[in-house]
Amino acid sequence: MTYPVHLSLGPLVLPVHLLLEVLAYSGGYRLYQHLRRRTLDPISEENRLWIFVGCAAGALLGSRLLGLLEHPGLLANPPGGWLYYFTNKTIVGGLLGGLVGVELTKKRLGVTTSSGDLMVYPVILGMGIGRLGCHFSGLEDGTFGTATMLPWAINFGDGVPRHPTNLYEILWLLLLGALLWLRERRGPLPDGWRFRFFMVGYLLFRLLVEFLKPTPAPAGWGLTAIQWACVAGLGYYAWLFGREEVKYQSSVNTVNQ
């Protein structure tokens, strides 16, 4: 296979990445609609719409901001001109920014139940398809790994065998989705925990897999901007789980008194 991969339709040449990105959004949304029809959703249609708006706004801002912070040395002289500030993005920033947008919107609406559980499997599907598009883009996408001599290394067009980190991510997403599905077959998780487990699993993976990417860490930081964002996100969820444990122990002590 020659990278980047394009689809030729007569005189028209379409990048496979773009097609798979469209398929990721449409496929994820169709799965969401299917799951919502089969699920008793305590959130009204109107509130769901506003939550989607908050999620989209937060994800757009977060993905762009973290994408720019990933390469701080390019901010003063962006490659390709001013469009660089609007095209550079990252999934981690989108997830965390979307999380902030959703929580702020829910607080405004007075919604206390989880809105993320219903989105987990659609997000996994969309991210998996999208990462396949990243893989077919080769070096153009910037999600490739460092050089390696492992037998499954892939030459993305520059003659250097590299870690296919985008394929690693697809495999991890499939495993994470399967583990969540198997766990829920044993019994329902508490409200919001499916989304929490997904976020913890994905952020932990990204924290580790970034060590296999050629993105340099800013001097003195030790970690890249994406890794620091993952650390912050994992710290937030550690705090949430700790708070739940405190509440549980408090209720147990109250019952025993």
Q: Which domain holds residue 53?
A: 44-112+216-256
Q: What is the mean pLDDT of the chain?
A: 89
147: which strand partners? 162
- pLDDT tens digits, 21-37: 999 999 999 999 999 88
Percent of the chain's residues with pLDDT above 90: 64
Instruction: Give the model confidence (pLDDT) of 22-76 as tens digits.
Output: 999 999 999 999 998 888 888 889 999 999 999 999 999 999 999 888 877 777 7
Tell me, letter by letter, the H, E, C secondary structure of the chain.
CCCCCEEEECCEEEEHHHHHHHHHHHHHHHHHHHHHHCCCCCCCHHHHHHHHHHHHHHHHHHHHHHHHHCCHHHCCCCCCHHHHHHHCCCHHHHHHHHHHHHHHHHHHHCCCCCCCHHHHHHHHHHHHHHHHHHHHCHHHCCCCCCECCCCCCEECCCCCEECCHHHHHHHHHHHHHHHHHHHHHCCCCCCCHHHHHHHHHHHHHHHHHHHHCCCCCCCCCCCCHHHHHHHHHHHHHHHHHHHHHHHHHHHHHHHHC
Same domain, 71 and 120: no
Q: Looking at the structure, do residues 13 and 131 belong to the same domain, yes or no?
A: yes
Same domain, 184 and 221: no
Query: pLDDT: is 16 or 209 the higher one?
Result: 209
Q: Count Cβ atoms below 10 Å from residue 148 Cβ, excluding itself.
A: 15
Written as one letter, the residue type at 80 is G
Judgement on whether residues 21 and 50 belong to the same structural domain of the protein: no
Instruction: Clarify whether residues 152 and 190 are in a common domain.
Output: yes
* Same-domain check for residues 71 and 48: yes
Q: How many domains does the chain have?
A: 2
Q: 4 and 120 share a domain?
A: yes
Q: Are residues 31 and 49 in the same domain?
A: no
% of the chain exceeding 70 in pLDDT: 93
Angle at 21 between CA 71 and CA 95, to 5 degrees: 55
The yes-or-no verdict on residue 250 having pLDDT over 70 is no
Q: Are residues 197 and 133 in the same domain?
A: yes
Residues 77 and 106 in one domain: yes
One domain for residues 191 and 89:
no
Q: Say if residue 221 is in the same domain as residue 99.
A: yes
